[in-house]
Amino acid sequence: MKDKETQLYVTLTVISLILLVVVLGRVQAGPPSKVTFAAGSRTGAYYKFALQYKERLAANGLEVVVLETGGSLENLRLLREGKADIAFIQSGLSPDGSQLQSLGSVFPEPLWLFTRGEEPLTRMNQLLGKSVAIGTTDSGTREVALSILDDAKMREKLRTVSVGGEEAKQQLLNGELDAAFFVGAQSVQAVKELAVDPSVQLADFDRVQAYARYHSSLFPVTLYAGMLDISQDLPPKDVHLLSTACSLVVSEDFHYALVTLFLQTANSIHRAPGPFQTYGEYPSPKNVTLPLMPEAEQFYESGPSFFFRYLPFFWAATFDRLIILLLPLVTLLFPLFRVAPPLYGWILRRKLLKKQEILRDIEINEDGLSYAERQAVLKELTDHLAELKNLPPNYQNDVFLFQLRLERVQDQLAKASSDEGLEAR
C-alpha cells in the first residue's frame, strides 16, 4: 500500500518539477542592479535629467550609468548595439526596423528658431540665402529642422551649418550665423540667453497647424506672453511654436520590472507644470513614435501594481515575479490535481482486488500448496487487513467483504486441517 502511495506522490512530484522547469525557462530572470542610460551633451537638458534619474533610482538600489552622447541619433545607435539599456529619444526619429520600445513621452521639446534682426520671422521663405544652424550630426534638432525646411522647400535655398547648442548660440550672437534652430525645453541655457538678447528674435510660426498635419510627431504649442520672464514681459506677445516630445526608449531586452520603477521616477521628475504642460500631463503615452511596452501601457491605465505601491523595488519585483511564475504553474497543475484522487482510488482498488485474487487462489488451491504454505499466505493477508481498514470510508464496504471472506477461508482451512487429523487417527 505504502509503496503504491509513494510511487504516486513521486510521479506527481516529478511532473510538477518538470512543469516548474518549463515555466522558469519562460519567466525572465530578476531585474538587474545596474542600467546604462544614454543621455546627451553635458550642457543639455537630456544629461541633466538623466542625472536626476541616477540620483533618485540609487535610493531604490539601482545603479544608473549616464552616458554623454551627441544626441538622439547616437542614443538610438547605442540602444540598437546593446551599449545602452534606456535613452532619451526625440519623438519622430525612426529606429530602422529595430525592436526598440517606448515607455512614453516625458516632456515636450519645442522647436525654437532664433534669427538676427529687429523683427521676428513668421515664414520659412524669409530664410532665403541665409546661414542657418540646424544642430549637430547626431542630434534630433537636425532631423526636425531639415524636415521643416524640406516642407517649405527651403533646404537648397539657404546655407545649413551643422552646429548646435552653446556653439550655435555663440555664433548667432557673434553674427557668424543668421539663424539657428534649437530643440528643447525653455530651461535649455542657450534658449534662455537668446530669449533676453535684443539682437535676436524668436520666430513666430503662423503655419504651425499645417506643419503638425504633415508630421505626426509634431504638435502646436503656444508660448504665452510673459511666460519666459514675466518681470521683463518676455515674450511681449503670444508666440506660436511647433513641438516634439522627448521619449524614454528602451532596448528590446529591457527588464519588465524596471518599467514601473522608471515611470514612477519619471512621474516624480516630469509631472511639474511648465510653459508647455499642465501638472501631471507627463509622463504620457501620447506623442510617441515607437510602440509602448505592455507594462508601460498597464501603468498608464491602472498605475503601479499592488506590490510596487507598498514595497521597496527589489522586494516588489521578487513578489511580482513569483506571481507570474505561480499563476501559470497552478493552471498547469490544476488538471493534474483533478486526476490525482481518481488515480489514487484506482491504485487502492487495484491493491484490494489483488488481495482478493490471492485469497481466491488460496481458497481454490489450484497450485496444490501445503497447509503451512496456505496458512502463511493467510497470515500475511490478515496483517494487511489492519492497513486496509485505514482506507477512506467509501472503500470500507469492500474491505468488510474482504474480511468476511478471509475469515471464511481461515475457518475452511482450519476445518480441513482438523478433518485430516481425525482421519490420520
Q: Are residues 296 and 373 in the same domain?
A: no
| Residue 285, H or E segment | none
**Phi/psi of residue 131, nearest 5 degrees:** -95, 125
Inside any domain, residue 397? yes
Inside any domain, residue 326? no
How far CA 190 is from CA of 120, 211, 274, in Å, comes to 18, 25, 18
Q: Are residues 106 and 168 in the same domain?
A: yes
Inside any domain, residue 338? no
Rounded Cα distance between 410 and 415, Å, is 9
Rounded Cα distance between 72 and 89, Å, is 5
Domain count of the chain? 2
Q: 243: closest CA among 190, 308, 287, 280?
A: 287
Q: What is the CATH number of the domain that holds 100?
A: 3.40.190.10
Cβ 201 vs Cβ 234: under 8 Å: no
Residue 32 CB coordination number (10 Å): 13
Q: 258: closest CA among 29, 23, 26, 25?
A: 29
pTM for the full predicted model:
0.66
pLDDT at 423: 46
> Per this entry, what is the length of the chain?
425
Q: Are residues 281 and 413 in the same domain?
A: no
Describe the crossing of helices 256-270 and 313-364 by its angle, rounded to 10 degrees. 150
Inside any domain, residue 389? yes
Q: What is the pLDDT along the chain (425 residues), one digit of tens a residue?
A: 445 555 655 566 666 666 666 655 555 556 788 999 999 888 888 999 999 999 999 988 899 999 999 888 899 999 999 999 999 999 887 666 568 999 999 999 999 999 998 888 888 889 999 999 999 887 888 989 999 999 999 999 999 999 988 899 999 999 999 999 999 876 567 887 898 888 999 999 888 898 888 888 899 999 999 888 888 888 889 999 999 999 999 998 898 888 888 999 999 999 999 889 999 999 999 999 899 998 899 889 876 665 566 555 555 555 565 565 665 556 655 666 665 666 666 676 777 777 777 777 777 776 677 777 777 877 777 777 767 766 667 777 777 777 787 778 777 777 766 655 544 44
Q: Is the peptide bond before 235 cis (omega within 30 degrees of 0)?
A: yes
pLDDT at 274: 86
Q: Are residues 260 and 377 in the same domain?
A: no
Count H helices and E strands in the chain, helices first.
13, 10
pLDDT at 239: 92
Rounded Cα distance between 104 and 86, Å, is 12
Q: Classify the C-alpha dihedral 55-56-61-63 as positive or negative.
A: negative
Q: Are residues 271 and 372 in the same domain?
A: no
pLDDT at 357: 78
Cell digits for 124? 520659412
Question: How far is CA 331 from its chain centroid?
Answer: 22
Last residue of a domain, one of 304, 336, 359: 304
Last residue of a domain, one of 304, 335, 369: 304
Q: Are residues 296 and 355 in the same domain?
A: no
Residue 300 CB coordination number (10 Å): 15
pLDDT at 305: 64
Note the pLDDT tens digit of each residue in 301-342.
Answer: 876 665 566 555 555 555 565 565 665 556 655 666 665 666
Rounded Cα distance between 185 and 182, Å, is 9
pLDDT at 17: 64
Q: Are residues 405 and 283 in the same domain?
A: no
Note the pLDDT tens digit of each residue in 374-394.
Answer: 778 777 777 777 677 666 677
pLDDT at 425: 43
Q: Are residues 289 and 372 in the same domain?
A: no
Inside any domain, residue 333? no
| Residue 250, H or E segment | strand 239-250
Q: Classify the C-alpha dihedral 284-286-289-291 as positive or negative.
A: positive
Inside any domain, residue 300? yes
Q: Are residues 192 and 268 in the same domain?
A: yes
pLDDT at 55: 95
Cβ 101 vs Cβ 168: under 8 Å: no
Q: Are residues 205 and 59 in the same domain?
A: yes
Q: 249: closest CA among 46, 42, 7?
A: 46
Q: Hey, which residues does 89 pair with through a beta bridge?
A: 247
Inside any domain, residue 17? no
Last residue of a domain, one of 272, 304, 336: 304
Cβ 248 vs Cβ 88: under 8 Å: yes
Q: Are residues 41 and 163 in the same domain?
A: yes
Cβ 223 vs Cβ 110: under 8 Å: yes
Cell digits for 39? 543621455
pLDDT at 107: 94
Q: Classify the C-alpha dihedral 282-284-286-287 as positive or negative.
A: positive
Q: Are residues 160 and 273 in the same domain?
A: yes
Rounded Cα distance between 242 and 205, Å, is 8
Inside any domain, residue 398? yes
**What domain range is 356 assigned to?**
349-424
Cell digits for 218? 509634431
